[in-house]
Amino acid sequence: MTATTARPTARSARKVEPIYYAFLLPALILFTLAITVPGIIGIFFSFTDSIGIGEWQFSGFTNYIAAFSDPAIASSFLFTFGFALVTVVVVNVCALLLAVGLVARIRFKTGLRAIFVIPMVVSGIIIAYVFQFLFQNSVPALGSLLGIEALQTSMLASEDLAWIAIVIVTAWQAIPSALLIYIAGLLSIPGDVYEAAAIDGASGRQQLLRITLPLVAGYVLINVILGFKGFLNAYDVIVGLTNGGPGTATRSIAMTIISGFNSGDYAYQMATATMFFVVAVVIAVLQLVVTRGRNSV
C-alpha cells in the first residue's frame, strides 16, 4: 500500500474522543435555547397579528407587505447600511495608519498601544453620553470662543450632520480592536523584506504601498467583515447620542425593531427583523464566496 492511499485510510479511521462532545454539548444546548429556538419562534409570529402577549391569528404575508411599503423601515435600512459602509472605511483607514506608526521605531510605543486600546473596554452607552455632552456643550462653546460659526450649533441637532457625529463616536470605539489586528499583521511581516526594499532604494511610501498593504490584505479583509457585521447592529451609541433623531434621521434597523416591540407592534417588527436576518445571511454568504480559497492570514 502506498503512502498516498494509506493517508486517507488513517484519517478515516481516526476517532473523535468522547470528551470533545462533552465540551461541545453545553455550548450547543445554550446556543440552541438562546438563539435558534427564539429565532424560529420569532419568524413564526411574523406571520401572525400577535402583539407579544394574548391571543393571535395568522395573517400570512400581511406584515411583510406592509414592511416593504413602509418608508420608516426603508429609511432605517438605508441609514444603517450607509452608516456601516462609511464607518468601516473610517475605522480601517485610521486603524491601519495608527498601526503602522505604533510598530515603527518610536519611543514609548508599548505605552501608546495600551492607551489607544482603552476605548475598546468602555461601554458604548457611556461613551455616547460623554460625547453627547461634548457635542452639545463643549464644541459649541469652543466654536463661540474661536468665532467659528459652523461649530456654534450642535451637530446632533442637524439632520444633515448628526450621522457624522455617530460615525465619529462609533469609530472612536471600534478603532482599537481593528488596531490590534493590524498590529498583529504588521509584526508578522519579516524585517528582512523591508531591509531588502531599502537597499533597492524604495522610499517609505513605496514600502507602505507595495509591501505593507499587500501583505496585510488578509487582515484588512478580516477587519472589514467583522466591522461591517458589527456596525449593522448599531444601537447603543445611537441611543446615547441622538436616540434616532432629529426626527428619525439617525434611526437604525435595530432601533426601529426594538421601538416597535415596546409599542406593541411585535409581529410587524418580527417581520422586519426576519427581513434584516435574510439580508445579513445574504451578505455573509457573499463574504464567504469572496474569501473562499484565500489564505487570509
For the chain, the domains span 71-291
State the DSSP code for 35: I
pLDDT of residue 205: 81
pLDDT of residue 293: 54
User: Taking a C-beta distance cutoff of 8 angstroms, is the pair 118, 176 a contact?
Assistant: yes
Q: Which residues contact 208 (CB under 8 A, 6 or more apart)?
A: 100
Question: What pTM, to 2 d.p., does this model score?
Answer: 0.83
Q: Which of 242, 277, 241 is nearest to 257 (CA)?
A: 277
223-252: b (≥16 Cβ within 10 Å) or e? bbbebbebbbebebbbbbbbebeeebbbbb
Question: What is the assigned CATH class of domain 71-291?
Answer: mainly alpha
Cα torsion 174, 180, 181, 186: sign: positive
User: Taking a C-beta distance cutoff of 8 angstroms, is the pair 76, 260 a contact?
Assistant: no
| Tens of pLDDT, residue by residue, the chain (297 residues) | 444 454 555 454 567 788 888 888 999 999 999 989 999 999 999 999 888 888 899 998 999 999 988 998 999 999 999 999 999 999 999 999 999 888 877 777 777 777 878 888 888 889 999 999 999 999 889 888 888 887 888 889 888 889 999 999 999 999 999 999 999 998 888 888 888 888 888 887 888 888 888 889 889 988 998 899 889 998 999 999 999 988 889 999 999 988 888 777 889 999 999 999 998 888 888 877 776 655 444
